[in-house]
C-alpha cells in the first residue's frame, strides 16, 4: 500500500476532476493532492533508510508472476524530486494557465503525467514500465495540444509521432525479451541473465530496441529531434513540467536497465552509453548557442544536461552514479525554474524572442535574480547546486580514468555559461531595441503564486548547493545499492510480508 499510494493519489484526483465541474475547486484540489503526494514521498525516505528496498506485491501474488512495485533509494529519491517539482509547478499553474485550459482539464492531465512518472519509478516489471510510459505519453500529448493553437499542434504532432515510435521499439523489445527468457519481472530477468552469461549476445537485439526507446524518451543524441521541436510550443507551465519530469524518466530507466542487465555485457554497452552521453553534451550545447528563442535555448540545454547524467552512468563507479543522481536532481530543479521564469516573461511581454526583449531586470529585479540563480546553477557557478553536480561528475570521471571525457564536460560547461549569459544579457540587461518595439497592453497582472513557487525553487537550488553533503551521502548509498543488484534481486524474489 505504501507504494501503491503514489499511483492511487493521482488516480483519485483524476476521478474527482471528472465529477467536479468548477474550475476553482479543481485548482485547489490539485494543490491539495500535490501536497499529499509530496508528503507521502517524503514519508518513504525514513522507511527506505531502514528497509533498503521497499517491495509491494500487488494483490498478494508472489514476485515473478504478480505485479511487483519496487522502490530502492534511487527510486525514492526520484519520487521526492518529482513530487517537489510537481507541487511547485501546480502552484505556478493555478495562476499561469488560463481559465479555459484549467476548465477543460489542465490539472486532470498533469495528474495523468504524475501517475505515469510515479508509476515508472516504482515499476518492478518491464511491461508495467511500458504501460506507465504510455500513460505518461498520452497525457503529455493531450496536455501539449490542449488549447489548440497552431504552433502547439505542430509541436505536439512531432512529439506524438516520435514518441509513438519509441513506444513501438520498447514494446517490440519487451516481446523479444519475453520470447527469449519467459519472464518480465526485472529482478527475475536480472537473476536469469547473470546465471546464463553466454546468452547475452542473444539478448542484444531486444535490449538495443529498449535502450533506443529510452534514448528517444531521454532525448539523447542521435534521437533528440522531437524535444526542441515541441517543448517551446505549449503554455509555459506545461513545458516546465515536461522539461522537469519526462526526459528524466527515460534516463532513470536507462540507469535501472544498465545496473540490472546491461552491465553483464559491459565491453559492448559501456563505451556506447558513454559516447552517447558525450555527444549529447556537446551537440546539445552547440545547438543551443545558435538559437534565439528563450525556451528553445533551454530545450537544447536539456539534451546537453542529460548527457552529463549519462556520462556519470558510463563511468560506472559509485561516485559516478552518485554524481549522476545528484546532477539529475539539480537539473530537474534548475531547468524547471528557468522555464518558470520564461513563463513569467512570456506573460508580461507576450514573446520569448531574444531579439525583441530587453530591460526586464529594470522592470522586475526579483524575477531577474530568480533567473540568475537558476541559469547560473545550470552553468555551474559556485555556491549553487550545479557547481556541486558538475564538480562531482568531473571528479568521478578523473577518478575512473576517463580524463578526456572529464575535460569535455568541463569545456561544455563553458559553453553553457555562454548561452546563459546570452539569455541574461538579451532578456534582462540590454535596452529594448528601438526599431522592433512590440506594443503590448501593459496590464498589471497578478503573479504572486507564480513568484512564490519560483522563489521556493530558487531557494532549494541554493540550499542544494550549500548543504550538498547529506544529499551526496544519500546518493552514494543509493549508488552502492545500484551497483549490487543481488540485493535488489534477493529482496524482490524472496519477498515475505
Partner 1 sequence: MRNLILEKIAVLYLRAILIVSVWLLLRGHNEPGGGFIAGIIASTGFILYAIVYGSTAVEKLLRYNTRNWIGSGLLIILIAVVLPIIWGKPAMSSIWMTLPDSISAYVHIGTPLLFDIGVYVSVIGIILSIIITIMDVLKWNS
Interface ranges with partner 1 (CB under 8 A)? 1, 4, 8, 11-12, 14-19, 56-60, 497
How far apart are alpha carbons 254 and 125 in whole angstroms? 14
Residue 58 or 493 with smaller CB distance to partner 1 = 58
Residue 19 or 50 with smaller CB distance to partner 1 = 19
Q: What is the DSSP string of 157-189?
A: HHHHHHHHHHHHHHHHHHHHHHHHHS--BHHHH
Q: Helix, strand or coil for residue 443? A: coil
> Residues with Cβ < 8 Å from 316, sequence gap 6 or more?
258, 263, 266, 270, 400, 483
Residue 146 or 394 with smaller CB distance to partner 1 = 146
What is the nearest approach in angstroms of partner 1 to the Cβ of residue 28? Answer: 18
How far apart are alpha carbons 283 and 188 in whole angstroms? 38
Residue 56 or 489 with smaller CB distance to partner 1 = 56
How far apart are alpha carbons 492 and 256 in whole angstroms? 15
What is the nearest approach in angstroms of partner 1 to the Cβ of residue 15? Answer: 4
How far apart are alpha carbons 420 and 297 in whole angstroms? 9
What is the nearest approach in angstroms of partner 1 to the Cβ of residue 83? Answer: 20
What is the nearest approach in angstroms of partner 1 to the Cβ of residue 438? Answer: 36
Residue 16 or 157 with smaller CB distance to partner 1 = 16
- Burial class of residue 10 in the structure, from the number of CB atoms within 10 Å of its CB (0-12 exposed, 13-18 middle, 19+ buried): buried
How far apart are alpha carbons 424 and 177 in whole angstroms? 48
What is the nearest approach in angstroms of partner 1 to the Cβ of residue 70? Answer: 14
What is the nearest approach in angstroms of partner 1 to the Cβ of residue 60? Answer: 5
Residue 1 or 50 with smaller CB distance to partner 1 = 1
Residue 59 or 441 with smaller CB distance to partner 1 = 59
Find how far residue 228's CA is from the centre of its chain: 15
What is the nearest approach in angstroms of partner 1 to the Cβ of residue 35? Answer: 20
Helices (H) and strands (E) in the chain, counts: 21, 2
Amino acid at each position: 500500500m505504501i507504494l501503491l499510494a503514489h499511483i492511487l493519489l493521482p488516480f483519485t484526483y483524476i476521478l474527482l476532476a471528472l465529477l467536479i465541474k468548477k474550475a476553482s475547486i479543481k485548482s485547489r484540489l490539485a494543490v491539495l493532492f500535490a501536497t499529499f503526494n509530496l508528503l507521502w514521498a517524503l514519508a518513504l525516505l525514513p522507511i527506505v533508510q531502514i528497509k533498503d528496498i521497499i517491495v509491494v506485491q500487488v494483490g498478494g501474488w508472489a514476485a515473478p508472476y504478480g505485479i511487483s512495485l519496487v522502490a530502492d533509494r534511487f527510486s525514492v529519491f526520484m519520487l521526492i524530486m518529482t513530487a517537489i517539482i510537481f507541487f511547485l509547478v501546480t502552484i505556478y499553474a493555478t495562476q499561469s494557465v488560463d481559465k479555459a485550459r484549467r476548465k477543460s482539464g489542465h490539472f486532470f492531465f498533469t495528474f495523468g503525467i504524475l501517475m505515469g512518472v510515479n508509476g515508472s519509478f516504482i515499476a518492478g516489471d518491464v511491461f508495467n514500465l511500458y504501460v506507465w510510459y504510455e500513460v505518461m505519453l498520452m497525457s503529455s500529448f493531450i496536455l501539449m495540444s490542449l488549447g489548440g493553437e497552431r504552433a502547439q499542434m505542430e509541436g505536439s504532432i512531432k512529439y506524438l509521432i516520435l514518441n509513438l515510435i519509441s513506444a513501438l521499439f520498447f514494446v517490440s523489445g519487451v516481446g523479444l525479451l519475453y520470447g527469449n527468457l519467459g519472464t518480465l519481472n526485472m529482478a527475475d530477468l536480472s537473476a536469469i541473465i547473470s546465471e546464463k552469461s553466454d546468452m547475452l549476445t542473444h539478448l542484444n537485439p531486444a535490449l538495443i530496441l529498449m535502450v533506443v526507446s529510452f534514448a528517444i524518451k531521454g532525448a539523447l543524441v542521435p534521437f533528440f529531434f522531437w524535444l526542441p521541436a515541441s517543448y517551446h510550443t505549449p503554455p509555459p507551465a506545461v513545458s516546465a513540467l515536461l522539461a522537469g519530469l519526462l526526459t528524466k524518466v527515460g534516463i532513470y530507466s536507462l540507469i535501472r536497465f544498465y545496473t540490472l542487465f546491461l552491465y553483464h555485457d559491459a565491453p559492448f554497452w559501456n563505451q556506447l552509453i558513454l559516447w552517447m552521453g558525450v555527444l549529447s553534451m556537446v551537440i546539445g550545447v552547440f545547438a543551443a548557442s545558435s538559437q534565439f528563442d528563450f525556451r528553445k535555448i533551454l530545450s537544447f540545454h536539456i539534451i546537453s544536461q542529460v548527457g552529463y547524467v549519462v556520462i556519470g552512468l558510463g563511468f560506472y563507479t559509485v561516485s559516478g552514479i552518485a554524481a549522476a543522481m545528484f546532477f539529475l536532481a539539480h537539473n530537474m530543479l534548475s531547468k524547471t525554474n528557468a522555464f518558470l521564469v520564461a513563463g513569467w516573461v512570456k506573460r508580461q511581454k507576450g514573446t520569448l524572442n531574444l531579439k525583441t526583449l530587453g530591460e526586464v531586470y529594470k522592470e522586475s529585479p526579483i524575477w531577474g535574480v530568480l533567473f540568475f540563480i537558476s541559469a547560473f546553477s545550470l552553468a555551474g557557478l559556485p555556491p549553487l547546486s550545479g557547481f556541486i553536480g558538475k564538480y562531482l561528475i568531473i571528479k568521478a570521471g578523473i577518478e575512473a580514468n576517463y580524463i578526456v571525457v572529464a575535460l569535455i564536460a568541463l569545456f561544455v560547461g563553458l559553453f553553457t555559461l555562454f548561452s546563459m549569459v546570452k539569455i541574461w544579457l538579451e532578456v534582462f540587461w540590454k535596452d529594448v531595441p528601438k526599431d522592433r518595439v512590440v506594443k503590448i497592453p501593459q496590464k498589471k497582472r497578478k503573479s504572486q503564486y507564480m513568484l512564490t513557487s519560483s522563489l521556493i525553487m530558487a531557494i532549494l537550488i541554493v540550499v542544494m548547493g550549500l548543504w550538498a553533503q547529506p544529499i551526496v551521502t544519500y546518493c552514494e548509498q543509493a549508488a552502492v545499492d545500484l551497483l549490487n543488484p543481488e540485493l535488489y534481486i534477493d529482496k524482490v524474489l524472496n519477498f515475505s510480508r
